[in-house]
Structure 1
């Protein structure tokens, strides 16, 4: 986080504030959730309500009342507001955690978040002003959640939002560490593609806040790399499905995000004309019958497997027809 560009008179008396803060401020430290003094916490919650009212309405004008001048001047702030507003439509946000920081000096401050078992983590924050407030908001009602993180600073002209961001937090209802553990379980069963897909999702939501650090991130990255190397050795594309008489060729394995979660997506070429719907369906049924032998576990323990069938490989310069198939497993 870079707050050094905040162009306000506060900066000129920055050290004075650090040397002698208001008597009404608690002693230096980090106050978490209900440790935050009641009066302060109430004031912060009023700011949060004002913030999300403006975000929900996609109303930058009203938000300018609680944004710092630096936030107002940033060219991407309007896009952030629009993005968060759109995600609010997918699932309402609730306050997950909040931290009130009374800083004694400048520099990085690490908050250790414990007692959450596999989801323990650290939060690294730049202590740039004497008083700061970090609020983390999540969507508890949907499987693919996005976290909104907001940092307020007490500036010379009041408490203002100096940083706001939105990043993936869960995929298919699981956090990054939970996806990592599940990937290890799948790999132990020799479900390589499943494990790789899960690690891809784990990587996507490993940093829901830019200062969020999972203790297992290094081990997870090493495991992810080993899976990639193994998959590249085992699956050489295009992969001919020899068990099917028409011998379709898989050219890509990926995932498809839906409101219910994230599921495998398999792309393949077919010699059967897409206009021959009956023929495409018959071939796909044969593919579905053998896909578990080619990619063990791909058709187990999930709601769907998606297929996208082509007569010609898709590219960036033209529209290529396809036939979409959803295999509902349970």
Structure 2
């Protein structure tokens, strides 16, 4: 069937301040129970306000300094976030209570050092006492991380930093996709490795500079390695010379479906999109050639998707395509 192409993006919000001093940190069950309960009340209010697109409710939780910095963009941001997921509850990934000897110092909060999924939260402390909550809406395959960093203003907790970002895709985080990419690379499945690394990068900074995985350097270096290798091996658009109609593959990427991510192959065809019989004949040849050229792309997967175009989309207008689904046996 002929369909039209669509694109989707996402966003964020912040605040910062530098000094010298010391700090003590408590996390999760080591935090004072009464204090955890105080913050839970605020987190509940924050989460309800987010899912209800209640900007006024969120502003009531924000510090004056954050209101000065981010109020103008808040309406648009919360509207985007509130419509991006459906959930009526959240779980706590981790939380931290920090006591500083002075204000304006950097707080560095590691969840661990050597684990594959260990991370560090970094920010400038505007208050002597800070509280970090990392919240994940429940019931989602594609998890959004809500980073709420509070400061204690004369025994009243207020939000200093509020961030939203992609934490996982189909319950897999950046380190998870990095691991899959390395496994694919070891099998010489270069396109799979590139696709997995693309997904890893999407989840790599779920709170911008405030959240960094301990293995981020390794992930970025491996991403550069596979991208350099794929770019040296293939030049797109790539003409499929072994196919008589000479179609040109111009893009391969992971397509999201209800069952997960599967390869999508975009190619340019000289056959009119209305001539579906000729397109199907050509596509059978395209599938074989794509499987030959891009090792592993059709292995260990339920589907490979193909879209035939008569012109390469330039991002400025909708371009028609004709789609094929290659159902594979896993």
Task: Give the alignment's TM-score, normalised by structure 1.
Answer: 0.85
What is the deviation of 1:63? 2.2
Aligned to 2:197: 199
| Counterpart-to-counterpart distance in 1, 2:239 and 2:224 | 25
Choose 273-282 or 284-293, whichever is displaced more: 284-293
Aligned to 2:66: 71
| Counterpart-to-counterpart distance in 2, 1:226 and 1:273 | 38
Choose 123-132 or 46-55, whichever is displaced more: 123-132
Structure 1 counterpart of 2:48, from 39, 53, 71 = 53
Aligned pair in 2 of structure 1 residues 303, 161: CA closer, same or farther (>3 Å)? farther
CA contact (8 A) 1:91 1:142 kept: no
Aligned pair in 2 of structure 1 residues 86, 284: CA closer, same or farther (>3 Å)? same
Aligned pair in 2 of structure 1 residues 88, 319: CA closer, same or farther (>3 Å)? closer
Aligned to 1:42: 37
| Counterpart-to-counterpart distance in 2, 1:281 and 1:111 | 56
What is the deviation of 1:243? 3.4
CA contact (8 A) 2:113 2:119 kept: no
| Counterpart-to-counterpart distance in 2, 1:304 and 1:142 | 23
Q: Deviations over 1:93-152 (max 9, x none)?
A: 322111111112341122121288311122223222011111111245333222111111
Aligned to 2:242: 243
Aligned pair in 2 of structure 1 residues 246, 181: CA closer, same or farther (>3 Å)? same
Aligned to 2:7: none
Task: Give the alignment's TM-score, normalised by structure 2.
Answer: 0.85
Aligned to 2:147: 149
Q: Mind listing any 5+ residue stretches in structure 1 that lack a counterpart?
A: 5-17, 19-26
Supply the RMSD in Å over aligned alpha carbons. Answer: 2.5
Choose 93-102 or 237-246, whichever is displaced more: 237-246
Aligned pair in 2 of structure 1 residues 304, 172: CA closer, same or farther (>3 Å)? farther
Aligned to 1:7: none
| Counterpart-to-counterpart distance in 2, 1:91 and 1:146 | 13
Partner of 1:326: helix, strand, or coil? strand
> How many residues get paired?
310
CA contact (8 A) 1:304 1:329 kept: yes
**Which structure would you say has the larger Rg?**
1
Q: Mind listing any 5+ residue stretches in structure 2 that lack a counterpart?
A: 1-13
What is the deviation of 1:238? 1.9
| Counterpart-to-counterpart distance in 1, 2:303 and 2:130 | 45
CA contact (8 A) 1:144 1:261 kept: no
CA contact (8 A) 2:16 2:123 kept: no
Aligned to 2:80: 83
User: Higher relative contact order by CA 8 Å / sep ≥ 6: 1 or 2?
Assistant: 2
Aligned to 1:22: none
Aligned to 2:171: 173
Structure 2 counterpart of 1:127, from 125, 136, 141 = 125
Aligned to 1:109: 107
| Counterpart-to-counterpart distance in 2, 1:316 and 1:241 | 24
Aligned to 2:188: 190
